[in-house]
Homo-oligomer: A and B are copies of this chain.
Amino acid sequence: MGNKVSVGLLGLGVVGSGVIKIIESHQEKLMHQLGCEVQVKSVLVRNPEKQRDVNTDRTFLTTNPDDVLNDPEIDVIVEVMGGIDEARQHILNAFKAKKHVVTANKDLVALHGKELQNAASQNKCDFYYEASVAGGIPILRGITDGLSSDRIQQVMGIVNGTTNYILTKMDNEGMSYEDALKEAQELGFAEADPTADVGGLDAARKMAILGRLAFSTDVDLEDVEVSGIKNIALEDLQYGNQLGYTMKLIGNANFSNQQLEVEVQPTLLSKEHPLSDVKNEYNAVYVYGEAVGETMFYGPGAGSLPTATAIVSDVVALIKNMLLGVTGNQFVEPYFKKELKTPAERLGQYYVRLHANDEPGVFQAISSLFNQFGMSFKHILQTPLEKHGLAEIVLVTHQTSLENFHNILEELPKLDGVLEIKGHYKVEGDAEQ
């Protein structure tokens, strides 16, 4: 290894450029911590001729993966090319060549994390992916190291900056979903194709990774129930506000009685909850541990330099392991066999807004239906609608099962006088939970 560690980069987009910038400009700090120089030796790119906003004079650009993956001088591979299949293959090849790997690729880690981790272990290599969840926030280390002695029961995250930006704008400025999305795109907080973000898939991938580490059990992407923010009505934000809630896209992972529940959905979050103040493009992850209680990790969830910080911090950790001769040891096999909660075991509070005829007996029938399923109300709001003879009714339940709530959603529209369910959401962070 000598007095220099050479890094090979796969990809040179915004994050890759950030990695080069940080390694160059923080060289003295790295040298001080590690006692050796860190250098990006070569980078796999699609087009070496492309104009870039980062200085690559000292770096070899190549279109041939072997130049990076099989260079005997390179010890560490940083994968920031994105995508699934090609990235997976490169990383597996890197492990075969006994190189350590750092990635920011949440899609890949959510889908193939277990396989890659096993390949790393078999080759006594390190595999780090702090940057794959919540960009610059060192949340994976917080869970695996900082809270290693505790039993974590819940992880709730605002782990997608695009949707949090859009919801903040809708909430604070009464902007429509479409306008807020457009603004987010103009500011670079949303992609041209925002599907994975606004549909909740991006958050689901991060929650799968978080759940796996927090609960020491397998969590597959298909275990995560997902709904996105596209169909949120401004009315529900406003009623929520009136009742003390803020609408957020919340990833929620729960583990109790050795049973797992992971979901991503627009959620009415109590304004008393620490996550409710997380605004705009910021991310935060709230962790509830049996002994530690409530903790929260807040920061930028994306961006070139924040994400690169997490990557280079992983590189530092890994080089320390190399210097100490202890690479390939950070993986702990999942402890609990995965068991998903059934809807009857999944507890929560729920919000529902409906239109009904404003006439005697209707509310009585609604209330008796809830009672039938053993559900009671925390909040009731009834407002006459402009359209004569109709009422808008907003209900927030006390804690009940998801199964009960599903039943309610099925039975409500069958009641005489109930016209339509206009919206329904999970409620989180109320004191009673």
Q: Which residues from chain A sit less than 8 Å from chain B, CB to CB? A: 18, 21-22, 26, 29-30, 32-33, 130, 136-138, 141-142, 145-151, 216, 274, 277, 282, 289, 291-300, 303, 305-306, 308-313, 315-317, 320, 324-326, 329, 332, 335
Contact = CB atoms under 8 A, between A and B. Distances in A.
A259 to B, nearest CB: 17
B149 A32 contact: no
B277 A291 contact: no
B332 A32 contact: yes
Given A26-B151, A29-B335, A145-B141, A299 B293 contact: yes
Contacts of A136: 289, 291-293, 295
Contact of A277 (B21, B148, B277): B277
A149 B300 CA distance: 16
Contacts of A332: 32-33
B317 A145 contact: yes
12 contacts: A32-B335, A136-B295, A141-B142, A145-B145, A149-B309, A274-B277, A282-B294, A292-B305, A296-B296, A298-B298, A324-B324, A326-B326
B292 A149 contact: no
A149 B216 contact: no
Nearest to A324: B326
Contact of A149 (B22, B142, B294, B296): B22
A148 B306 CA distance: 12
B274 A291 contact: no
A326 B298 CA distance: 32
Contacts of A294: 282, 298-300
Contacts of A145: 138, 141, 145, 313, 317
B305 A291 contact: yes
Contact of A315 (B149, B303, B306, B324): B149
A298 B295 contact: yes
A147 B138 contact: yes
A18 B293 CA distance: 13
B149 A29 contact: yes
A149 B26 contact: yes
- List the 4 shortest-distance A-B pairs measured between CB atoms, nearest first: A138-B146, A295-B299, A149-B312, A136-B292
